[in-house]
């Protein structure tokens, strides 16, 4: 009799390449297959179909541990018997450093990352953000030319996240590492990644630089206005002065004094600024911002389409 097992394909038909010194980011909603892709690429999950190459060599033909990776998984992978210091020291020792060198470099990493007060603590004594820091350090400390990180800054407060981003960016540049990382933070993706892919339901929907994706798939501008009366502003400026010309737009009232317009396929960016600046001098509104659609909006558009497949 059949086992009646359900076979789930977490991702399929994915083809991508990471250049030297490049940080490649993967965005996608929960369950889109990001972690499964990274777990397979890092040999955590067994490879079934397809080909994975490192430096042009098929990973199915590798001998032992000849491919060196720095890997920060989504879940913390720490030992309760080791202190924070001992974790880093052990990985450096396994990488080939002498015990004396490992201790010296570990102290340098800990001081640089402001973790001195936690160096002798066990993992269960650390906060969630500090444990993530340790996982990131384990991935970075071996100076590997190939780094994989799965949502590295998840669970961190804004100030810690910003500092960790600086550490990651500096380390990747110094080691000239080829890096692939998944993230839910649009700010993290734009700051760290040279190219970004958006993944929905196990498939890559687009690949490009953050600027390229916003220009190609956004194609909209956002006008946010703070005014005395949003209806007066709409009648006198948007309609009366034909602010957006023939471009389509959607209006969203945020409050009685704040209104937001999403303008599609606009070819008159300078005209909008010209009209808004002249009207501001006349005191018809308090303040405004006019900017290109965000990477987050591009991501949301793809995620929404993904629910319709």
Domain boundary pick from 214, 233, 267: 214
Say what the pTM is: 0.78
Looking at the domain assignment, is residue 80 inside a domain?
A: yes
Distances (CA, A) of 246 to 42, 249, 262, 270: 51, 9, 14, 15
* Higher pLDDT among residues 217 and 255, named by residue: 255
Q: Are residues 183 and 275 in the same domain?
A: no
Q: Is residue 255 part of a domain?
A: yes
Tally of structural domains, the chain: 2
4 pLDDT tier (thresholds 50, 70, 90):
low
Tell me which residue of 10, 18, 44, 33 sits closest to 180, measured CA to CA: 18
Residue ranges making up the domain that contains 270: 220-292
Q: Which of 181, 214, 247 is the last residue of a domain?
A: 214
Q: What per-residue string of b and e applies to 179-202 under the rule 16 or more CB within 10 Å gives b?
A: bbbbbebbbbbbbbbebbbbbbbb
pLDDT for 47? 79
What does the pLDDT read at residue 32? 83
Same domain, 276 and 183: no
Q: Say if residue 209 is in the same domain as residue 284.
A: no
Residue 250's contacts (CB-CB under 8 Å, 6 or more residues apart) are 261, 262, 264
- What's the CATH code of the domain at 229? 3.30.70.260
User: What is the separation, in whole angstroms, between the first and last Cα of the chain?
Assistant: 34
**C-beta separation of 193 from 251 below 8 A:** no
- Give pLDDT, residue 195: 93
Residue located via tokens 């920060």: 72
200 and 230 together in one domain: no
């Amino acid at each position: 009799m059949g086992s009646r097992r359900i076979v789930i394909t977490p991702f399929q038909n994915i083809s991508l390449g990471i250049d030297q010194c490049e940080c490649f980011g993967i965005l996608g909603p929960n369950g889109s297959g990001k972690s499964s892709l990274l777990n397979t690429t890092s040999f955590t999950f067994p490879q079934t179909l397809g080909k994975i190459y490192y430096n042009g060599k098929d990973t199915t033909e590798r001998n032992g541990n000849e491919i060196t990776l720095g890997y920060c998984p989504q879940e913390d992978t720490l030992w309760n018997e080791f202190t924070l210091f001992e974790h880093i020291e052990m990985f450096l020792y396994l990488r080939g450093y002498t015990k004396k060198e490992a201790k010296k470099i570990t102290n340098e990493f800990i001081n640089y990352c402001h973790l001195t007060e936690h160096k002798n603590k066990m993992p269960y004594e650390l906060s969630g953000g500090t444990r993530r820091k340790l996982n990131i350090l384990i991935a970075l400390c071996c100076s590997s030319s190939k780094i994989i990180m799965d949502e590295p800054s998840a669970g961190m407060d804004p100030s810690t996240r910003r500092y960790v981003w600086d550490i990651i960016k500096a380390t990747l540049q110094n080691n000239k590492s080829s890096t692939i990382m998944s993230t839910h933070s649009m700010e993290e993706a734009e700051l760290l990644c040279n190219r970004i892919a958006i993944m929905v339901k196990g498939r890559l929907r687009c690949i490009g630089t953050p600027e390229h994706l916003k220009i190609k798939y956004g194609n909209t501008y956002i006008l946010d206005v703070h005014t005395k009366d949003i209806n007066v502003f709409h009648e006198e400026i948007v309609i009366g002065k034909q602010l957006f010309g023939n471009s389509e737009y959607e209006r969203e009232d945020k409050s009685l004094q704040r209104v937001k317009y999403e303008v599609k396929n606009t070819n008159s960016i300078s005209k909008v600024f010209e009209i808004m600046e002249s009207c501001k001098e006349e005191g018809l509104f308090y303040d405004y911002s006019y900017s290109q659609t965000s990477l987050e909006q591009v991501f949301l558009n793809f995620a929404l389409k993904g629910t319709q497949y």
